[in-house]
Amino acid sequence: MFAIRLSGEEHHDTRVLPVDVSGVLAGGDEETAELVRTAEGAGEAGAVQVLPRPLRTPAKILLAGVGAGDEAGWRAAGAAVARTAAGDEPLHVMLPDRIAPAAVRGLAEGLWLGGYRFREAPKPPRSGAVTLTTPDPAAYAPSLEAARVTAAATWLARDLTNTPAAVKNPAWFAAQVVTEAATRPGVTVTVRGPEQLAAEGFGGILAVGGGSASPPRLVELAWNPPAASRHVVLVGKGITFDTGGISIKSTDGMKLMKKDMAGAAAIVAATLAAADLNLPVRITGLTPLAENAVSGAAFRPGDVITQWDGATTETTNSDAEGRLVLADVLGYAVAELDPDVVIDLATLTGANSVALGKRTAALYSQDDDLADALKAAGDAAGESMWRLPLPDDYVDYLRSDIADRHSSPAQGGAGSVVAALFLREFLGDRTDRWAHLDMSAPSWAERDDADLTKGATGWGVRTLVRLLDDLSRG
Ligand code: BES
Ligand code: MN
Ligand code: ZN
């Protein structure tokens, strides 16, 4: 990880000069300004040009394009510099005077996120010292700290999601949460194993986890600061591997299914980040953890399971497992935790990418304020989502002849929408204080792309950290 610090002094390291669409913003001499005037596209967000200066100091200048100079432009510049910088050479970024604090947050998040590598990868992550020079370092310290916590949380979510499923079984994931929580005062964790899940009636988690040699868990992570005014419950789908079960997936459909716990990883990381930032908001993070495996003990198409709230679900397709584990936990949250807001994140359907492509999550909520707040937090954080409807006339699709409802209706299409409607059934009297994010598509990057490193993206961490910050203020 880059060691980024703010300083009032200049150094002789490789110099990074931010350039926007109208030219060099800070620290350039006349010669550099002239070069930028003739260099095509130097100010475009994410463009980096290397200017070698033999026999002079500094010996190298990087021109880093910040586009319009907004937070997204600075984030793109940071990520591009992270990928361009050779080895561990110290970097020296000249910040323009009186730049907005958001620019520093964007730049630092871009550097850290773009420099990510999986903790088990053969190559270590990009590192080296980065000094941000400004006449007023103190003014930017909170932005740098917010960036540090957000990036570290995103790294954690990426590491958990990139971990192969042979390692990452439900017990392993639960143990990771316990370890992370142990270093944070004020954060508590409860882990329920199969016996306790059975005693308390978590029938969806037990059915889905029943086919695996690694039994399921439910992790309940809590941050409860004294000054909290609101209680936010975060729920994350934690299928540590999704074979589809008896309704088995194809080779191609299964190859990335170690990522089917990306929702759980994101809500755990965001909750820990809120604690690190000491945000005055109460958070309970719930992750149902199960492996959807194929075996003689696996649940079958046509089985009827009893969810935590007592309602029954006919499960005609064992590959629609995520909604079964989430249904238990959503029912439990509204009945037992008295939440002001419930948000769930889930790699729930392949239909997410059919509707919205590879980088955009589907957002569902009946609460316009909550939907707008999430969208705004995502926009600021650089994570994209788009709101889709919850049409009441599709609720009929969920009807079953032998149970209260059906988990995976054959008719209708709109797989992501129908899954959201199924989840809504378990919100009791809190349907108006709930949001669901189907983040199947943006949870994974097929290639390095700006602030995303190929593999798990940690999608949702950045959005949630901003949203929790907003909710803790007003
Ligand atoms: N985990 C998958 C959804 C998924 C697919 C996530 C591709 C990421 C990439 C989920 O459990 C699933 O299998 N959903 C089914 C639902 C269907 C059987 C009703 C789907 O989307 O096909
Ligand atoms: Mn599935
Ligand atoms: Zn799944």
Helix (H) or strand (E) holding 5: strand 3-7
Which of 57-66, 91-100, 143-152: highest mean pLDDT? Answer: 143-152
In a 10 Å sphere around its CB, with 0-12 CB exposed, 13-18 middle and 19+ buried, how is residue 374 labelled?
buried
Ligand 1 touching residue 347 (CB < 6 A): yes
Q: Is 317 in the pocket of ligand 1 (CB under 6 A)?
A: yes
Domain 168-473: which CATH number of 3.40.630.10, 3.30.70.240, 3.40.80.10, 3.40.350.10: 3.40.630.10
Output the residue whose Cα is nearest ligand 1's atom 3: 349
User: Per-residue confidence at 29, pLDDT binned at 50, 70, 90?
Assistant: confident
Give the pLDDT confidence of 120-159 residue by residue, as tens digits.
999 888 889 999 999 999 999 999 999 999 999 999 999 9
CA of residue 437 to ligand 1 center, whole Å: 14
Look at residue 392 and tell me whether its pLDDT is greater than 80. yes
Nearest ligand 1 atom to alpha carbon 416: 21
Largest separation between any pair of C-alpha atoms in the chain: 82
Is 249 a catalytic site residue?
yes
How sure is the predictor about 450, in pLDDT bands with cuts at 50, 70 and 90?
very high
Reported confidence tier of residue 39, pLDDT bands at 50, 70, 90: confident
* Chain length of the chain: 474
Query: pLDDT band at residue 21, thresholds of 50, 70 and 90?
Result: confident
pLDDT of residue 474: 79
Check if 438 has its Cβ closer than 6 Å to any atom of ligand 1.
no
Mean pLDDT of 331-357: 98
For 169-182, the DSSP string reads -HHHHHHHHHHHHH
% of the chain surpassing 90 pLDDT: 87
pLDDT, greater one: 392 or 57: 392
Among 243, 252, 318, 319, the mutation site with the greatest number of ligand 1 atoms within 8 A of its Cβ is 319
Residue 23: the pLDDT is 78
Three-state DSSP class for residue 148: helix
Q: What is the pLDDT of residue 52?
A: 87
Is residue 242 in contact with ligand 1, taking CB distance under 6 Å? yes
Residue 152: per-residue pLDDT: 98
Contact 75, 110 (CB under 8 A): yes
Q: What is the pLDDT of residues 170-198, one digit of tens each?
A: 999 999 999 999 999 999 999 999 999 99
Whether ligand 1 lies within 6 angstroms of the CB of 322 is answered as yes
Phi, psi of 291 (to 5 degrees): -100, 125
319 lines ligand 1 (CB under 6 A): yes
Query: Is this model's pTM higher than 0.95 or not?
Result: yes
237 is catalytic: no
Q: Which of 257, 349, 406 to mutate to test the pocket of ligand 1 (most atoms within 8 A of CB)?
A: 349
Instruction: Report d(CA 245, CA 285) in Å as an integer.
Output: 26
- CA of 254 from ligand 3 middle (Å) equals 10
**Where does the pLDDT of residue 443 fall: very low under 50, low under 70, confident under 90, or very high at 90 and above?**
very high
Give the C-alpha separation, 150 to 187, whole Å.
Answer: 17
Residue range 435-459: average pLDDT? 98
pLDDT value, residue 85: 80
* Domain range summary for the chain, segments of one domain joined by +: 4-141, 168-473
Q: Is the pLDDT of residue 266 over 90?
A: yes
pLDDT over 90 (residue 17): yes
pLDDT in tens, 271-309: 999 999 999 999 999 999 999 999 999 999 999 999 999
List CB contacts of 12: < 8 A, sequence separation 6 or more.
57, 58, 92
Residue 71 confidence (pLDDT): 98
The answer to whether residue 1 scores a pLDDT higher than 90 is no
For residue range 359-369, list pLDDT tens digits in order: 999 999 999 99
Mean pLDDT, residues 306-315: 98
Per DSSP, what are the bridge partners of residue 192? 218
The residue-averaged pLDDT of 359-385 equals: 98
Q: Is the CB of 439 under 6 A from ligand 1?
A: no
Section 47-60 average pLDDT? 89
pLDDT band at 36 (very low <50, low <70, confident <90, very high): confident
Taking alpha carbons only, the member of 317, 311, 344 closest to residue 330 is 344
Side-chain-facing half-sphere of 192: CA atoms under 13 Å = 21
Return the number of other C-beta atoms located less than 10 Å from residue 48's C-beta: 21
Decide: 287 and 264 in contact? Cβ < 8 Å: yes
Decide: 458 in ligand 1 pocket, CB within 6 A.
no
Give the Cα separation of 345 and 119 in Å (integer): 24
pLDDT at 37: 80
Site to probe by mutation for ligand 1, drawn from 249, 251, 348, 358 as the one with most ligand atoms within 8 Å of Cβ, is 348
Structure token pair of residue 147 = 């960036």
| 214 alpha carbon – ligand 2 mean position (Å) | 17
pLDDT band at residue 54 under the 50/70/90 scheme: confident
Q: Which atom of ligand 1 is nearest to the CA of 322?
A: 11
Report the pLDDT averaged over residues 243-251. 98
Mean pLDDT of 409-424: 91
- Mean pLDDT (whole number) for 389-405: 96
Pick the catalytic residue: 119, 230, 249, 387?
Answer: 249
Distance CA 281, CA 224 (A): 7
In the predicted structure, residue 446 carries a pLDDT above the cut 80: yes
Task: Inform me whether the pLDDT recorded for 27 exceeds 80.
Answer: no
pLDDT confidence of residue 38: 76
Average pLDDT over residues 379-392: 98
Q: Which of 60, 323, 405, 462 is catalytic?
A: 323
Q: Does domain 4-141 match CATH 3.40.220.10? A: yes
Q: Residue 157, Cα to own-chain centre: how many angstroms?
A: 7
pLDDT averaged over the chain? Answer: 95
